[in-house]
Amino acid sequence: MKRATVFSLVREQSVFMTVIMALLNFLAVMSLGIALMIGTGVVRWNAQWDLYATVQVTNSANESKVQKILNENKSQITELREISDTEMVALMRPWISGGGQLKNYLPKMWEVKFKSESDLTNISKNISQYGRVLTHADALSPSTSAGWQMILIATLILAMTLGTIAACVSYIARNTAMLHKHELEILNQVGATDSFIAHQMQIIVTKICIAAGAIGFVAAAPVLMLVLSAAHAARVGLIATLAINGFGWGCLAITPVLITVFAIWMTRRTTLKILQNN
Amino acid sequence: MEEKTIISFANVAAAYDNATEVLTDVSFNISSGTFYFLSGASGAGKTTLLRLIYMLHKPLRGQIKLFGKNTAELSRDDIANLHHKMAIVFQEYSLLSHMTVFDNVALPLRVRGIEEAKVKKLVTKVLDWVGLGKYADVKPMELSGGQQQRVSVARAIIIQPSILLADEPTGNLDDENASRLMELFIQMNKLFGTTIILATHNKKLMETYKFPIINVENHRLNFVGKASTPADSKKVWRGPAPKNYFSELSKQFEDIGNA
């Protein structure tokens, strides 16, 4: 025989609460998903440029010294490419057009990929006496910083969503207790402990949260995939590196479960508080 | 206080929302195993007295002791544990309309964490015994007033309470079923020493069963008649102490009928 819960939850009431919780689950999965995809993107973006640096020599007297250092450390360098004047002129064209004279003012530049970060540090130290070494990571820091800001915003949305979930669950417990004073009185009469009543309330909230979590995740997952495919369509830049790996999807799948556990705990806390103040 | 005192009131007053006192300076002791009628005009305070005993209402002042324990000093869990030894039957049944008759009667056992197989066995027995076995799966609203009252009684007695409080339990029953219910209460009192306080307006009932009466009048109580315990009275059951509560009772009420 199926064991009935003590609190009767009318259809409209449970549908309303399931819809609200599903929306909050959707928002939580979305905000965590966006934070994860930007986070992964920023990490990948950074990793891509960690070993790259540009060497600039403005004093032509130092060119041979820098060239010598680079030659002596060839075993620590994976790629070495001299940037031609034509390339530099092409890069500067939108801002500078010095005609034939510009050539006289251009620095000597190399793009270098080192084997390891320690190689980059050591060789940069040697070169810095004669020229300027600018790592790609430093040069691209505004993009990275924007990425971290987006993660921060997504995390803030996640925190706000979790706060709303706490308020919502507390409301469900209070609302159920208020609507079911009669049931509470009967439970009191038959010797139910506060713990038993809280457990009954937890059964209701668990049912709502499981349904809402499933709906929220199923709705959020395709939207996240849509965002990822749109980002990959960009092909280059930070946006193109956005991704969610297997671990990330695991985290997203577990989010509704954690929300359910949190809701169960919150229900118990609220119910016991209501009963003690009754 | 006597050793056998199970309910004790000392200068107890009760009011709702700090308005006029419903009961004033109520003091009495009730011994274990006694049977009392509780009478008085409507609104005199009968239900309030029962609610005070059952700890559903807090006294304005005074001291109430149940099983020798001061109720003011009890925690919520202590009260719940004391409720495991007590039961109350209200005139308005207090049944959960969304649950079946079976689940309503099973509720006191389930809150005690009794295993489901035992719950099923006991509930089936007590429902058969009150003549509602075939209604186990229906909702209370589908039953008549008398049948709902019996569900309420079944839920109260399934825990074999030491104290049974009943607020107008025969109010919705015809004479035949009212007297059958009274017989059931009397058997509980005599066989198991259950202390019973039964609120009623029914003068015929009080005249038929000569139990002492607690009369509520002008916010105070007066006791009419001498209380007797099962030890003083002639027992209906003359054999050894029954081991199976429901089978012994059911011998007396096999055909309680379906009012």
- Residue with more model confidence, A180 or A260: A260
Q: Are residues B103 and A275, on separate chains, in Cβ contact within 8 Å?
A: no
Q: Give the confidence band of A166 by pLDDT, cuts at 50, 70, 90.
A: confident
Conformation bin of residue A75: beta by default, left when phi > 0, alpha when psi is -120 to 50: alpha
**Contact in structure between B2 and B29 (CB atoms under 8 Å):** yes
**Between these two residues, B19 and B103, which has the higher pLDDT value?**
B103
The predicted model gives A69-93 an average pLDDT of 84
- Residue B2: the pLDDT is 44
pLDDT recorded at residue A95: 66
**What ranges do the domains of chain B cover?**
5-252
Tokens of B186: 């009397």
CB contact under 8 A, B102 and A1: yes
Looking at CATH, the fold of the domain delimited by B5-252 is given as Rossmann fold (3.40.50)
Q: Is the pLDDT of residue B257 over 50?
A: no
Tokens of B93: 């049944």
The residue among A61, A67, A64, A46 whose CA lies nearest residue A123 is A67
Return phi, psi of residue A271, to 5°: -60, -45
Which range, A99-113, B175-189, B195-209, has the best average confidence (pLDDT)?
A: B195-209
Output the average pLDDT for chain B: 82
Tell whether the model's pLDDT for residue B50 goes beyond 90: yes
Q: Can you read off the two tokens belonging to residue B244? A: 């199976």
Residue with tokens 């402990």: A193
The pLDDT assigned to B236 comes to 40
Q: Are B107 and A190 in contact (CB under 8 A)?
A: yes
The region, left, alpha or beta by phi > 0 then psi within -120 to 50, assigned to residue A99 is left
* Residues A229-257: tens digit of each pLDDT: 998 887 777 788 888 989 999 999 999 99
CA distance B88 to B162: 11
> Minimum mean pLDDT among A55-59, A131-135, B103-107, B129-133: which range?
B129-133
pLDDT band, very low/low/confident/very high, at B241 (cuts 50, 70, 90): very low
Is the pLDDT score of B188 beyond 90? no
Local confidence band at B142 (pLDDT 50, 70, 90 cut-offs): very high
Which residues on chain B are in Cβ contact (under 8 Å) with A186?
94-96, 107
Percent of chain B with pLDDT over 90: 33
Q: What pLDDT sits at residue A9? A: 61
How close B207 gets to chain A, by Cα (Å)?
30
- B78 interfaces chain A, CB cutoff of 8 Å: no
**Whether residue B209 has pLDDT greater than 90:** no
Checking if the pLDDT of A213 tops 90, the result is: yes
pLDDT of residue A5: 62
Contact B83 A191 (CB under 8 A): yes
Contact residues on chain B for A196, CB-CB shorter than 8 A: 111
- Return the minimum-mean-pLDDT range out of A193-197, B101-105, B249-253: B249-253
Assign B256 a pLDDT band (cuts: 50, 70, 90). very low
- Contact list, B56 vs chain A (CB under 8 Å): 185, 188-189
Q: Does the CB of B107 have a partner CB in chain A at under 8 Å? A: yes
Q: Is the pLDDT of residue B255 over 60?
A: no
Cβ contact, residue pair B56, A189, below 8 Å: yes
Answer whether residue B101 shows pLDDT above 50.
yes
Q: How confident is the model at residue B252 (pLDDT cuts 50, 70, 90)?
A: very low
- For residues A58 and B180, what is the distance between their CA atoms, to the nearest angstrom? 113
Note the pLDDT of residue B248. Answer: 52
Q: Give the distance from residue B75's alpha carbon to the nearest chain A alpha carbon, in angstroms.
A: 10
> Who has greater pLDDT, A48 or A79?
A79
- pLDDT at position A8 is 63
pLDDT of residue A3: 61
- Lowest average pLDDT, out of A28-32, A84-88, B41-45, B148-152, goes to A84-88
3-state SS assignment for residue B57: coil
Q: What is the pLDDT of residue A98?
A: 58
Q: How confident is the model at residue A101 (pLDDT cuts 50, 70, 90)?
A: low
What's the gap in Å between the CA of B136 and the closest CA on chain A?
11
Residue B184: pLDDT over 50: yes
pLDDT value of residue B3: 47
CB contact under 8 A, B76 and A193: yes
B54–A275 CB contact, under 8 Å: no
Q: Which amino acid is at B44?
A: A
> How crowded is the C-beta side of A135, counted as CA atoms within 13 Å?
19
Q: Is A273 exposed, middle or buried (0-12, 13-18, 19+ CB in 10 A)?
A: middle
Q: What is the DSSP string of A107-119?
A: PEEEEEEESSHHH
Q: How far is CA B200 from CA B32, B37, B167, B172, B176, in A?
A: 21, 7, 7, 11, 16
ipTM above 0.95, yes or no: no
Band (B254; pLDDT cuts 50, 70, 90) = very low
**Mutate which: B92, B94, B96, B118, vs A, most A CBs within 10 A:** B96
What distance in Å separates the CA atoms of residue B21 and residue B216, rounded to the nearest whole number?
Answer: 13
pLDDT confidence of residue A230: 92
Mean pLDDT (chain A) is 84
**Given an 8 Å threshold on Cβ–Cβ distance, is A6 in contact with B155?**
no
**Mean of the pLDDT values across residues B13-41?**
88
Question: Is residue B250 predicted with pLDDT exceeding 60?
Answer: no
What is the pLDDT, as a whole number, of residue A6?
62
Task: Say yes or no to pLDDT of B245 above 70.
Answer: no
Is B94 in Cβ contact with A189 (below 8 Å)?
yes
